[in-house]
């Protein structure tokens, strides 16, 4: 894991800091959602935070690289609330509709802990979108990296959530193939469990009968 000063040095040396190319695997999913409150954890230069803000989201974005946040803050476009902070310690007070985590490479245990905390910030029906390099980052085997999660790690981190998608995203380059993992999960909300209306009426009739029986003392 790189520490903040290493990322500062990296960003200070980036030649074209206002890279606007977003990850299609994320934007294609973000663009299907209704805008609300979003958090971008480990936002870097803010490419996805800006995309969200431009799409009407109210965005808070966090990164522990002061240099990255300084650069991101001076970019033109709709306002993003940028914060210098360690995502493993950072907390939000308000429930949010989307938590975005892209290519934030923590140790698997730290990622698990982060996702476990972050999912508690979601409003009912809120979305968690994760994209990052997979454990087997390159098909040639040279890129295998123990710091990168795989499907099983993400499955553990979002156990109990409603899973919309969990997939490998394979990208072919000239001389290699990169494999990412994508997770799209949601917090449950009451309408998710709603039954179609005819079944709901029958279920409600059963509940009424059973509650009548209970009040008549037929059940313990
Ligand atoms: C590969 S960059 C990805 C940036 C951005 N999410 C994107 O997709 O362009 C990883 C970022 O995570 C940040 N980062 C890594 N560990 C962090 C931590 N514990 N707290 C906050 N930021 C962290 C780094 O400073 C860096 O900006």
Q: Tell whether 183 and 206 lie within a shared domain.
A: no
CATH of residue 151's domain is 3.40.50.150
- 3-state SS of 90-138 is CCCCCCEEEEEEECCCCCHHHHHHHHHHHHHHEEEEEEEEEEEEEEEEE
**What range defines the domain where residue 201 resides?**
195-220
Nearest protein Cα to ligand 1, atom 27: 44
| pLDDT surpasses 80 at 121 | yes
How far does CA 137 lie from the centroid of its chain?
20
Structure tokens at 162: 């409603």
Q: Tell whether 152 and 128 lie within a shared domain.
A: yes
Structure tokens at 146: 């123990």
| Bridge partner residues of 37 (DSSP) | 58
Q: Tell whether 183 and 129 lie within a shared domain.
A: yes
Strands 58-63 and 37-41: parallel
Q: Tell whether 219 and 159 lie within a shared domain.
A: no
Say how many domains are in the chain. Answer: 2
Q: Tell whether 35 and 80 lie within a shared domain.
A: yes
Higher pLDDT, 20 or 21: 21
51-75 residue pLDDT tens: 999 999 999 999 999 999 999 999 9
Q: Tell whether 199 and 180 lie within a shared domain.
A: no
Residues 6 or more apart whose CB falls under 8 angstroms from that of 9 comprise none
Q: Tell whether 86 and 170 lie within a shared domain.
A: yes
Q: Tell whether 53 and 119 lie within a shared domain.
A: yes
Mutation pick for ligand 1 pocket among 42, 61, 106, 113 (CB with most ligand atoms within 8 Å): 42
Q: Identify the pLDDT of residue 2.
A: 73
167-201 residue pLDDT tens: 999 988 888 788 899 999 999 987 776 544 554 45
Q: Tell whether 62 and 141 lie within a shared domain.
A: yes
Residues 6 or more apart whose CB falls under 8 angstroms from that of 23 comprise 48, 102, 131
Q: Tell whether 79 and 28 lie within a shared domain.
A: yes
Structure tokens at 69: 């946040």
Residue 49 near ligand 1, beta carbon < 6 Å: no
Q: Tell whether 106 and 208 lie within a shared domain.
A: no
Going by C-alpha positions, the residue among 95, 46, 35, 100 that lies closest to residue 70 is 46
């Amino acid at each position: 894991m790189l520490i903040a000063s290493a990322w500062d040095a990296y960003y200070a040396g980036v030649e074209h800091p206002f890279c606007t190319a977003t990850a299609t695997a994320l934007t294609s999913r973000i663009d299907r959602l209704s805008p609300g409150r979003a958090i971008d954890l480990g936002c870097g230069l803010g490419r996805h935070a800006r995309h969200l803000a431009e799409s009407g989201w109210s965005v808070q974005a966090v990164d522990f690289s002061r240099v990255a946040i300084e650069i991101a803050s001076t970019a033109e476009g709709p306002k993003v609330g940028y914060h210098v902070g360690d995502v493993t310690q950072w907390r939000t007070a308000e429930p949010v509709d989307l938590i975005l985590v892209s290519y934030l490479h923590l140790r698997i245990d730290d990622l698990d802990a982060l996702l476990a905390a972050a999912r508690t910030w979601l409003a009912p029906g809120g979305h968690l979108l994760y994209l990052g390099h997979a454990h087997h980052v390159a098909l040639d085997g040279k890129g295998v990296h123990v710091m990168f999660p795989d499907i099983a790690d993400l499955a553990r981190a979002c156990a109990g959530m409603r899973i919309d998608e969990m997939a490998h995203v394979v990208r072919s380059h000239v001389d290699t193939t990169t494999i990412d993992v994508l997770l799209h999960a949601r917090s449950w909300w009451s309408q998710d469990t709603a039954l179609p209306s005819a079944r709901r009426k029958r279920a409600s009739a059963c509940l009424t009968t059973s509650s009548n029986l209970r009040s008549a003392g037929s059940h313990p």
